[in-house]
Chains A and B, each alone.
Chain A
Amino acid sequence: MSFELNSLLVSLHVTYIQNLGKNKDDLTYHLTAHLRMNAIYWGLTALCTMNHREALDRNEMIEYVMSCWDEETGGFGAHPDHDAHILSTLSAIQILITQDAIDILDIDRVAKFILSLQQPSGVFAGDSFGEVDTRFSYIAVNALSLLGRLGDLDVEKTVAYIVQCRNFDGGFGSRIGAESHASQAFVCCAALTILDRLDEVDAPTLSWWLAERQLPNGGLNGRPEKLEDVCYSFWVLASLSMLKKVHYIDSGKLTSFILSAQDPEGGGIADRPGDMPDVFHTHFGLAGLSILGYPGLVDLDPVYCMPAALIEKMGLRKGWQALERRAS
């Protein structure tokens, strides 16, 4: 592989995503069934970012999503007969909204499932066994907002827990006392943004901490003195876009880093150059490039991590700022 990866291989990535569902003679496909709903959301959103939404069959997708609904709890599992979890429930909602099929949903029951996961402390659990994480708080806020049910949420309690997870470095942890992590900065900033409480963020300190995620090779890490990874591109950039500081990152170097993690043979983007691609990093790499204004891509709403035009149409757009889309 001697040629330089200096442009985005759109058609290869589209084919890569289309082929994901056809890998049934690959063991990994079966071992990752517990991530299927998320994977479909990542694939669909990546396609939307590349302006190829139609590359996956819409009806088949909606049918699959609905086959994962758990009548008993009101939430979605990751795959038929898998337990309902807040992670797959948000992905299901995002897919249905992106496919303009949300009417198919029993919104009351889904909202009730999500609200039932809030704990007395204000944080959300992922499922009935009660593991808590500020990630789940964001997911709940995002999902309820998309369903138009934020009014049913105890906002004060939700915000109070998130604020207690704020650390001296400006970042946020997954629970009270936990170390800051770029993905946690994203979920907490985005939850507070949706709830119009971004004033709870120590913006100068957090922007500084986020800017220091960039390494000499252009890639971003998730916390101090760790390795770079394509997926952090999105979490760091999305947080910075809510703080209106995306320009704190060297966009040229980060763009090159993401492009260098593409697989020039089979398509898809990996965590770092030379590694196996997967749909998760493909989606977050493209999402990062979209925020950086990469030419030809579609605007992504960094708060909801969905096509910006869609969020705007729903009247949910908040005051984030990405880099201007370059013409070439």
Chain B
Amino acid sequence: MSHGVRRVLQNKEALEAKKLKDQSKIRDYITLTSDVLNRKKQNDWSSQAFQLTTELLQVNPEFYTIWNYRRRILLNGIIPQSTPEQIRDILAEELSMTMAALKVHPKVYWIWNHRGWCLDNVPSGPGTEQEGDPRGWEKGFWDRELFVVEKMLDADPRNFHAWSYRRIVLANMPIPKPLTAELAYTTRKIEANFSNFSAWHQRSKVLSSLWSKGELDSNKSKEEGASGILYHEYISNSSLKEFDLVHNAMYTDPYDQSVWIYHRWLIGSGDDKDILEREIEVIQSLLEEESGSKWCMESLVHYKRLLLSNHASTTDTSTLKRDCMGLLRRLLEVDPSRRARYEEIELEIARL
């Protein structure tokens, strides 16, 4: 599986030279691999074997069998002979070793997995239950891990593995980070780049849990920012109201689909007729400025159909239908690749 590797035309001599150069590398690699796999077969849990897995994984971090073997050496050979302090240091060493690997291979999930495993195995300490602070080490490790993930997301704000891992870290921290802090993190990410759908996605999850936990009132936070005990924290982290944030993004780049998908989530099934009508108006005036914006038209059709299906008795349905048909005609012109879908919607509306 290779991604983004350009095909270069090499002449015969260059190819032969490369083959020759590869030969010794291949020999070394095969020797090292068979040595490690043999030791694995013999349940060799020695530190020498451990060292060899480091060497092999540095050449090939995707060799999952060797990550597994490495963990078995730790579990069966090294950890049983070590004090809690030593175990803590060994695991810290594992994290720096994988950090170096991640810098070169940010998308190899075996590396992310190994970090997760290390964190799960941090011993309790520095104190015992009686002495207090038995989770101090653990806390330090997880805090640092969140910092690492943030660095990775600074380098690539859409790194799928890093976001996924971030959620694992957040779920496992001994002292959970408040959801409002995570909400503020997504605000920062979104404001840095409205096109970051990963951050919009994360935001939808955080807001959903805040609402379901009753920490934020869903209607109020959509409209006013926030309410209740977390009001001040929320406001200081994000002065923007949810819809304002979205409108801001829409107006900044009406051609970017991230915000439109998120907006659809905010509207949901469209039970609130006032919000629906207000948002239709906002989009309509944006469309007047950006007459070619497919996303304005596509969203208008969607929201007008919600009015038709949820509020038919209190709206002018024939005007709505006519509007939709007109928008769909224009969509067929500006977005001909998806014409089959638009034509299907036309038929559905005609049948209403």
Interface residues in chain A, defined as those with a beta carbon under 8 Å from any beta carbon in chain B: 25-27, 30-31, 33-35, 77, 81-83, 85, 127-129, 131, 167-169, 174-175, 177-181, 207-209, 211-212, 214, 216, 218, 223-226, 229, 245, 247-250, 253, 263, 265, 270-272, 274-278, 280-281
Contacts and interface: CB of A to CB of B under 8 A. Distances in A.
Nearest to A27: B22
B330 to A, nearest CB: 17
A225 B195 contact: yes
Residue picked from B63, B68, B201, most chain A C-beta under 10 Å: B201
B265 interface: yes
Nearest to B30: A30
B65 A77 contact: yes
A277 B41 CA distance: 35
B26 A127 contact: no
Interface string B249-261: 0000000111001
Contacts of B151: none
Interface size class of B (residues with CB under 8 A): 35 or more
Given A34-B64, A168-B204, A250 B338 contact: yes
Interface of B: 1-7, 9, 19, 22-23, 25-26, 29-30, 33, 37, 40-41, 59-60, 62-65, 68-69, 71, 109, 113, 116-117, 158, 160, 163-164, 167, 195, 197-198, 201-202, 204-205, 256-258, 261, 264-265, 336-338, 340-341
B6 to A, nearest CB: 6
A178 B64 CA distance: 23
B113 A131 contact: yes
Most buried by B among A81, A174, A226, A247: A81
Contacts of A85: 64
A129 B117 contact: yes
Nearest to B257: A224
Nearest to A39: B1
Nearest to A77: B65
A180 B257 contact: no
Nearest to B62: A34
Nearest to B20: A25
Contact of B164 (A174, A216, A249): A174
B195 A211 contact: no
B338 A214 contact: yes
Given A214-B338, A275-B5, A178 B167 contact: yes
Contact of A212 (B40, B198, B257): B257
A249 B338 CA distance: 6
Contact of A275 (B4, B109, B340): B4
A27 B338 contact: no
B2 A275 contact: yes
B197 to A, nearest CB: 4
Main secondary structure of the interface of B (DSSP, over half): helix
A218 B160 CA distance: 24
B25 A83 contact: no
Contact of A224 (B23, B64, B160, B261): B261
Contacts of A249: 337
Given A127-B68, A275-B3, 20 more contacts: A25-B19, A25-B22, A25-B26, A27-B29, A30-B26, A31-B62, A34-B64, A81-B37, A81-B65, A82-B64, A127-B64, A129-B68, A207-B341, A218-B337, A224-B261, A248-B341, A271-B2, A271-B3, A275-B7, A280-B1
A165 B306 CA distance: 25
Contact of A181 (B59, B69, B160, B195): B160
A180 B258 CA distance: 12
Contacts of A77: 65
B160 to A, nearest CB: 7
B197 A224 contact: yes
Given A212-B257, A248-B340, A248-B341, A180 B7 contact: no
Contact of B22 (A26, A83, A208, A278): A26
A27 B25 contact: yes
A117 to B, nearest CB: 14
A129 B68 CA distance: 8
Closest 9 CB pairs of A and B: A250-B337, A168-B265, A224-B197, A280-B1, A247-B340, A83-B65, A276-B5, A82-B65, A179-B201
